[in-house]
Structure 1
Amino acid sequence: MQLQQWAEQAASQQDWSTALQLIELAAWQEPDNPQILCRWGDWLAAAGQPEEAIAAYQAVLEFQPGCPQSIAAWAAVLNEQGQFAEAIALLDQASEQTADLWHQRAVALQSLGDWPQALTSCDSALQLDPTAAESQFLRSKLRLGLGDWSQGSPEYESRLLVFSELRDRLPSFGCPLWQGEDLTNKTLLIWGEQGYGDQIQFVRYLSVLHDRWPETPLLLLVSEPLVDLFRQLAIANLQVATQFTFETESAYDFHLPLLSLPERLGATADVIPLAQGYLPRSLQSEIRLQANPRQLQVGFVWQAGETSDRRYQWRQASKSVPLEQFLQLRLQVNHCQFWSLQVGPARQSLLQNWDWADCDLADRMHSFADTAAVLNQMDLLITVDTAIAHLAGALEIPTWLLLPKFADWRWSLTGSETPWYQSMRLYRQAIAGDWRSVFEQLQQDLNSRPY
């Protein structure tokens, strides 16, 4: 027992190497203790060793066939690897149903595109454990994706419990969360959260807030790459800064994470504000491209951002397109001049193609304001689901968004249009993982596009 306690302490500090060594010793001492074996599996999964984790869960089931705890943990590993049908088959073997089992079933069903059944599984999980924040968060996204904002939007607040970076930040502001009170003679601090794309997508709701209280000072706190871009917003009484570097030290009465604005403002799915664009096209910049005026200027991005959160790594990876698809597309259309707007490590694969190196623009884009200046010189952006898609939509740049078969909640499950951005067209996979038919359609549409 002492070894397990030491192992727990090491795991709490994310010292997986020490935790695994200690729990292995504990397992040698008590080889028939399923709790130790299950813990061992949990930490192997956390340390990025899924196959070893599954072996530990299998060992538990030898002692306790149908053990719900082990099956739920094993199913979570399968879900993280994109093996959703296998996860559902495994979940059917449990000797009894628990909230964790229902949650993992919901995750698998959501990822297979069966959102109504996923919603039912979330309901079952929350009937057994009404405090299960991850199930609340998943249910909120399913409801929002299905158009039920009346229930989905309030429940989306559960993300503040799911993500530690949000939960831990809440007390740091020293004032209450804004719950929708009258802001007359008050100052509100709104702080950015989650990814860059989320912040670009939801910053539009500042205009709704300003229209309701035009005299209220608004302080917007965002990551450094977004500051110059958001300073271009046409909203009076708005200050934008990173950390607490406002021009003057300002007191504020309330604070609110940015993605809570729709809920506080009573937003619905029926009317998405400023779908026609809400960032100016006339950003001042010295960036100028050597563009051929007789060709269509097409920007492209093939890889989505990465995440360290195991729960979302498969989903992020499913968004990305092999670069070769764009290389072939370039050969098949003659009237387009292609420009790579890919940033991050993925661009190295482009630079290895010597005849493409001159179209790489990553070195010119040091902030989202720079990226906006580049986008303003494009006739079209073709991109996977990542932050630049939201930036192009906010700028009203024609955008073709490439989506996996089962996309994020904000794009729903079907359709080629989105209420979020009027200038955006959605291209969806017909078969999960297959981008070939998507690019065949892209080629046809590009060849028929005037220039």
Structure 2
Amino acid sequence: MGDETDGDTGTGKGRTSPDAAPGQKDVLRTLRLAAIEHHKRQNRSEAAALYAKYLNQRPEDATIWTNLGVLMRQTGQREQALDFQQRAHRLRPDLWIVRNNLANSLGDFGRHGEAADLFRGLLKERPEDSEAVWNLGRCLRSMGRYEAAVRVLKAGLEAHPRKAQIRLQLALTQLAAGDLAEGFRNYEVRFETGEVPPPKIDLPLWDGEPLHGKSLLVVQEQGLGDSLLCARFLPGLREQGARVHVVCRPPVRRLFAGAALADGVSTKLPDLEGFDAWAPMFDLPRHHFARRADIPKPAVFAVPQQSLERADSLVRPHDGALRIGVVWSGSVTYKANHLRSFGHEAFLPLADIPGVRLFSLYKGPLLEAYRKDGSSALIIDASGEDADLADCAATISRMHLVITADTAVAHLAASLGTEVWCLLHWDPFWLYGHTAENTPWYPRMRLFRQRRPMDWDEVFDRVRGEVEDWTRGALG
């Protein structure tokens, strides 16, 4: 969210004390410079050690406290980051950089009202600061104040028409508010922010022109869940008379290949000879909503027979149970995974409900902790050895209910028609908005939201009560 570090080497208020002895002053200045230089070079362990050593001698230096807070945030130590930013703010509430970094750390804990107040103050001082504009807009969206966010971001875009991040935040706000045509039109800017690397395809980019008799190459661009979400737009391309080839990641290849979604599917770029144009997958909704307002039904994916037979053998010993598939984390490489995910232990109380059998649909590095603490005795490992999401889809099809964090499994289960409860943190993906208990994108999906930032305990208290009610109804 735009943290900044202060590389100023001066000795003004809050920096190396001018009252220090000359020799000590030089030592501290050298130490300060070394810490900042290591930080700039991303030598984070060295920088942290040097910042701490310096602050032991000069605890009044607000700029080094804020630098250390930025470093802690960069390494995922967010509670420490907030503590250090608050210390810096107590020392120098007048410093722009301190207020900016404090606002960012407050946002990490859902304290968006406080963060928004700080960003407003920064904008009063520096109306030309485009970063404070998009940060303020983002805070307002995170509070569900879509109209206010749109006003701020549109005004910011008028003042800074070339700032891609402002337009991206406007797009995400419009999408969350349900303004899909404008939201996806503005989302075209995603490749300009540096967050989504643009595919490099030596073909003309499809601009929405008629496709009858044309060959179109569609390329997956983001996460697995995004590709499952956008797959619903593929049949419409073929209905227009296009020949469609999809390039996707290996985990979804079998799901796409066996379905009537495209004429060809591969995990690598095919020979481009014969193709008329290409489109990144998230361009498909932009062109769809430019012409019509309806949200297409979720894609129908093909589940291989071999995967179904494997799933049947897995669940056969539990034929009489109410089978619930669970997922506690998405990809650990996703930068906001710490917000949407929780520990596998949160599901364990559900295993005590009579008639219920839990199955883990998670595959990834967090399996080690789940297996190590014995949880696999209560939550059967159903997906740890999956070859791909087609295997997972087969297991999902044998579940009575899926309860999951916001992951690809949520999209997959909803697309397969399995009842799915998606557990959301306080500021979720635009698809879910901030208030509703469902989403028009997946009619069979039920949403359970954090009522307080960071509080998963209350969510799971509600989930347990709902599972108990659901179980009583299912068992009669």
Question: Is the 1:71–1:101 Cα contact (8 Å) retained in structure 2?
Answer: no
Q: For residues 322 and 38 of structure 2, what CA distance do their matches in structure 1 show?
A: 57
Alignment map for 1:191-270 (pairs within 5 Å): 191-213=219-241, 216-235=242-261, 238-244=263-269, 246=270, 250-266=273-289, 270=293
**CA distance in structure 2 between the aligned counterparts of 1:46 and 1:343, rounded to whole angstroms:** 26
Alpha-carbon shift at residue 197 of structure 1 (Å): 0.4
Q: Which residue of 2 aligns with 1:425?
A: 446
**TM-score normalized by structure 1?**
0.81
**Contact 1:396 1:422 survives alignment (8 Å):** no
- Is 1:147 the counterpart of 2:178? The answer is yes
1:384 aligns with 2:415: no
CA distance in 2, matches of 1:91, 1:366: 47
Q: Letter of the aligned partner of 1:293 in structure 2?
A: D
Which sections of structure 2, spanning at least 5 residues, go unmatched? 1-7, 10-29, 53-60
Distance change >3 Å, CA 328–CA 46, structure 1 → 2 = closer
d(CA) in 2 for partners of 1:56, 1:106: 22
Q: Which letter maps to 1:227?
A: R
Distance across 2 between alignment mates of 1:41 and 1:302: 29
Corresponding residue number in structure 2 for 1:279: 301
Contact 1:430 1:437 in 2 (8 A): no
8 A Cα contact 2:68 2:81, kept in partner: no
Matches within 5 A, 1:99-178: 99-166=130-197, 169-170=198-199, 172-178=200-206
Pairs within 5 Å for 1:253-402: 253-266=276-289, 270-275=293-298, 277-280=299-302, 283-285=305-307, 286-287=309-310, 288-291=313-316, 292-307=318-333, 309=335, 313=336, 316-332=337-353, 334-351=354-371, 352-353=373-374, 356=377, 359-402=380-423
Worse overlay, 130-139 or 382-391: 130-139
Cα shift at 1:15: 5.8
Tell me if structure 2 keeps the 8 A contact 1:99–1:124.
Answer: no
How far apart are residue 354 of structure 1 and its match? Answer: 5.4
8 Å Cα contact 1:429/1:437 also seen in 2: no
The structure-2 alpha-carbon separation of the partners of 1:328 and 1:165, relative to structure 1 and needing over 3 Å to count, comes to: same
Rate the CA distance shift 1:366–1:125 in 2: closer, same or farther, 3 A: same
Give a deviation string over 1:162-209, Cα, whole Å, max 9, x none.
24442xx34x21222111123344322111121110110101101111
Q: Which moved more, 1:394-403 or 1:320-329?
A: 320-329
Q: Measured at CA, do residues 6 and 251 of structure 1 come closer, stay the same or move farther in structure 2, by a change above 3 Å?
A: farther
| Structure of greater Rg | 2
| Aligned partners of 1:149 and 1:269 also within 8 Å | no
Shift of 1:328: 0.8
Distance 1:90 1:283 in 2: 57
Question: Take 1:378 and 1:224, find their aligned partners in 2: how far apart are those partners?
Answer: 24
Contact 1:147-1:269 within 8 A present in 2 as well: no
2:464 corresponds to 1:444: no
Query: How far is 1:124 from its partner?
Result: 3.7
Question: What amino acid does structure 2 have at the position aligned with 1:373?
Answer: A
In structure 1, give the amino acid aligned to 2:247. Answer: L
Task: Give yes or no for contact 1:188–1:254 (8 Å, CA) kept in 2.
Answer: yes
With 250-259 and 187-196 compared, the bigger mean Cα shift is at 250-259
Does the CA-based 8 Å contact 1:283-1:369 persist in structure 2? no
Q: Cα distance, 1:41 vs. partner?
A: 7.3
SS for the counterpart of 2:384 is: helix
The answer on whether the counterparts of 2:360 and 2:379 sit within 8 Å (CA) in structure 1 is no
Q: Give 1:344 shift.
A: 1.5
Indicate conservation of the 8 Å contact 2:190/2:196, yes or no. Answer: no
Task: Work out the CA distance in 2 between the residues paired with 1:99 and 1:396.
Answer: 44
% identical equivalent positions = 26
Paired with 2:266 and 2:101, the residues of 1 have a C-alpha distance of 42
After the TM superposition, list the runs of 4 or more consecutive aligned residues in structure 1 that deviate by more than 4 angstroms: 1-24, 33-63, 65-70, 248-251, 267-270
SS at match of 1:204: helix
The answer as to whether partners of 1:54 and 1:74 remain within 8 angstroms in 2 is: no
1:7 CA drift (Å): 11
Task: Tell me: CA distance 1:71–1:8, structure 2 relative to 1, closer, same or farther (3 Å).
Answer: same
For residues 28-64 of structure 1, the C-alpha deviation after alignment (integer angstroms, 9 at most, x for no partner) is xxxxx9999988876675465765798689869978x
Structure 1 unaligned regions, length at least 5: 25-32
Q: Counterparts of 1:13 and 1:251 in 2: how far apart (Å)?
A: 46
Determine the structure 1 residue equivalent to 2:218.
Answer: 190
1:352-398 deviation digits (Å, cap 9, x = unpaired): 22562671112331201111111122222111211001111121122
Quote how far apart the aligned CAs of 1:243 are.
2.1
C-alpha separation in 2, matches of 1:80 and 1:428: 17
Would the alpha carbon gap of residues 56 and 391 (structure 1) be closer, same or farther in structure 2, given more than 3 Å must change? closer
Q: Find the residue that maps to 1:137 and give its secondary structure.
A: helix
- C-alpha displacement of 1:120: 2.8
Q: CA RMSD in A?
A: 3.9
Quote the offset at 1:157 in angstroms: 0.9
* Equivalent in the alignment of 2:103: 75
Tell me, in whole angstroms, the C-alpha distance in 1 between the residues paired with 2:233 and 2:399: 26
What CA deviation, in whole Å up to 9, does each residue of 1:69-109 have, x standing for no partner? 55334422432454434423433543524322232222222
How far apart in 2 are the matches of 1:57 and 1:369? 48
Q: Is the 8 A contact 1:41 1:57 kept in 2?
A: no
Cα displacement string for residues 414-445 of structure 1 (whole angstroms, at most 9, x for unaligned residues) = 33332222332223334442312343233322
> 1:324-347: CA deviations, max 9, x gaps?
332111212x12222111221333
Aligned length: 432
The amino acid that maps onto 1:240 is V
CA distance in structure 2 between the aligned counterparts of 1:58 and 1:354, rounded to whole angstroms: 40
Look up the match of 2:56. Answer: none
